[in-house]
Structure 1
Amino acid sequence: MDRIPLPPMRHPLIAILRGLKPEEAESVVGILIETGFTAIEIPLNSPEPFRSIEMAVNMAPAGCLIGAGTVLRTDQVERLADVGGRLMVSPNVEPAVIRLAATKGMVTMPGVFTPTEALSATAAGASGLKFFPASVLGPAGIAAIRAVLPGDIEIAAVGGVSEVNFADYAAIGIRSFGLGSSLYKPGMSAAQVRQRAVATLAAYDAVYGGKK
């Protein structure tokens, strides 16, 4: 099966909304989209995650990538497809999960930490690789593993990453990130989410400018 590519994004940043409640979904997702985020991940260990994902899908403009994180099983992929999700993010490499998500037309970003996992995910047809936790591997560790991977595979740094270390990853050619607690934590007000989103995108533009 051909790899489903990530869509072009001015800011290739996935907002990870772990702990988001359905009653917060419209306001938080709406603010993120309004400020410039076009990829939203709601982890499945959040309260009523599929309800929140469906709400986000229904309100997001065309071109936004909405989906789930912490996807571990094929039945969760089926449920995600039922609510219109187009992004499947997992903390591990489970080829059956990756392949099923691809047949549903989803962009897939499995979590990897070693060369073995990265190559296994690539062989399964993953759209991209989520190096997690990036704070442990660091830019040097990711760069070393990247040397043995196909040159066209998208790589995102996730876990302990925020706007303060964009430049460190830019130095090794990484431009995609998953951002969690630096952007959103349960209980944050809409105004706080907006402030963090604006600051994050400004920091990204300061490092990457017009790079594609």
Structure 2
Amino acid sequence: MKNKKIDIINEILKHKIIAIVRGVEKEKLIPLAEAMYDGGVRFLEITYSADGSVSNAETAERIKLLCEHFEGRMLIGAGTVLDIEQVELTKKAGGSFIISPDAYDEVIKKTNELEMVSIPGVYTPSEIRGAVRAGADFVKLFPATQLGPDYIKAIKAPLSNIRLLAVGGVNPENMSDFEKAG
């Protein structure tokens, strides 16, 4: 897999799935990620711990472990990124993308400055436009199943140029409905 930012964006558009890994013990990460890779997953999000149960340094170590193991075959990024320190730790660990629960301008700007893909969380059209103006490459619509495919279709009508990822409750049973919605 290529590792330039535009190549990563194109690969996300092609593969359409970023698997989220939260709370998995370090020694189980590689076997889990290998199983996902064998199943076709090419992007893996390792989440930072908002409650502090896992330190930022430990999360960055997990990202580094996976980046070194996969050597670009699977791209690893960080989720639940709340501040610039986490963006910098992710870059240093070899991460390719940053996913946040909100659209904090400083996180988006630092992510772009470090040439990683920026995917902030949004809920409303105003948040979507604000994130894109700040430099988001994609926006993460969360919680997707609470909003539903019809909401996505309605959002995409006036904002068809926005790269939108549905997150939260998306599963094999409803995935095609979200994909059809945009």
Q: TM-score of the superposition, structure 2-length normalised?
A: 0.86
Match of 2:75 in 1: 65
Q: Is the 8 A contact 2:156 2:162 kept in 1?
A: no
Given the alignment of the two structures, is residue 7 of structure 1 paired with residue 41 of structure 2, yes or no?
no
Q: Name whichever of 153-162 and 62-71 sits farther off.
A: 62-71
Alignment partner of 1:112 out of 110, 113, 122:
122
Higher helix share: 2
Structure-2 separation of matches of 1:25 and 1:159 = 21
Q: Helix, strand or coil for the counterpart of 1:8?
A: helix
Given the alignment of the two structures, is residue 134 of structure 1 paired with residue 144 of structure 2, yes or no?
yes
Q: Is the 8 A contact 1:53 1:66 kept in 2?
A: yes
For this pair of structures, how many residues does the alignment match? 170
Q: Is the 8 A contact 2:149 2:178 kept in 1?
A: yes
- Structure possessing the higher relative contact order (Cα contacts under 8 Å, 6 or more residues apart): 1
Unaligned runs of 5+ in 1: 174-212
Match of 1:35 in 2: 39
Deviation at 1:152, TM superposition (A): 3.3
Given the alignment of the two structures, is residue 169 of structure 1 paired with residue 173 of structure 2, yes or no?
no
Q: Is the 8 A contact 2:144 2:166 kept in 1?
A: yes
Q: Name whichever of 54-63 and 125-134 sits farther off.
A: 54-63
What code does the residue aligned with 2:23 have?
G
Q: Is the 8 A contact 1:20 1:42 kept in 2?
A: no
**Overall identity of the aligned pairs, in %:** 38
How do 1:16-165 and structure 2 match up within 5 A?
A: 16-45=20-49, 47=54, 48-149=58-159, 151-165=160-174
Deviation at 1:153, TM superposition (A): 2.7
Q: TM-score of the superposition, structure 1-length normalised?
A: 0.75
Q: Is the 8 A contact 1:128 1:155 kept in 2?
A: yes
Deviation at 1:35, TM superposition (A): 2.2
CA RMSD of aligned residues (A): 1.8
Unaligned runs of 5+ in 2: none
Q: Helix, strand or coil for the counterpart of 1:30?
A: helix
